[in-house]
Every structure is written in structure tokens, then in C-alpha cells.
Amino acid sequence: MSRAFTKEDDEETAGFRDDERHSKKTLEWLRLQEKKLDFLRNDPKGAAIDAAKRKKWIEEIEIAIAQTREEMRT
């Protein structure tokens, strides 16, 4: 088959693949953050963590999740 009939990767295709990989990694990161948040809020072991530290972590994770979701919308 000649080169005229083969599809070569161009910058657009490579960019799409990079975007797809980034999106998958972001979704996985988001899933893990939500799991951490659930642990800190609901798991008895999470409740055993120092209250001030636990509160700080919950706030940080909530902010990170909100920012990530907002970035994913745009």
C-alpha cells in the first residue's frame, strides 16, 4: 500500500492522545482524592486522626477536588 493510503499521526492526533491520557490521569487522581475524603469523613480509622490535622486535610482535599472539577469543565 502506498503512503497515500496510510494514515500517519499528525500533531492533532498526537495532541488528542495527550489530552486523553491527561484526562484519564486526572479522573484517576480525582477518584483517589474522593476516596481519601470519604475515609477522613466516614472511616473510624480516619476519625482517630488528630482533629485539627484531619480538618485541615479535609479542607485541602475539598478545595483540590473543586478546582479539578472546575478545570475539567473548561
Residue 48 included in any domain: yes
Decide if 8 is inside a domain. Answer: no
List the Cα angle 28/13/72 in 5-degree steps.
35
Residue type present at position 66: A
Q: Residues with Cβ < 8 Å from 23, sequence gap 6 or more?
A: 72
With respect to residue 18, please indicate whether it lies within any of the assigned structural domains.
no
How many C-beta atoms surround the C-beta of residue 55 within 10 A?
A: 12
In a domain, 22, yes or no: no
The pLDDT assigned to 68 comes to 95
Q: Helix 11-42 to helix 51-73 angle, to the nearest 10 degrees?
A: 150
For residue range 12-56, list pLDDT tens digits in order.
787 888 889 999 999 999 999 999 999 999 999 999 999 999 999
Banded pLDDT at 3 (limits 50, 70, 90): low
Which residues constitute the domain of residue 56? 31-74
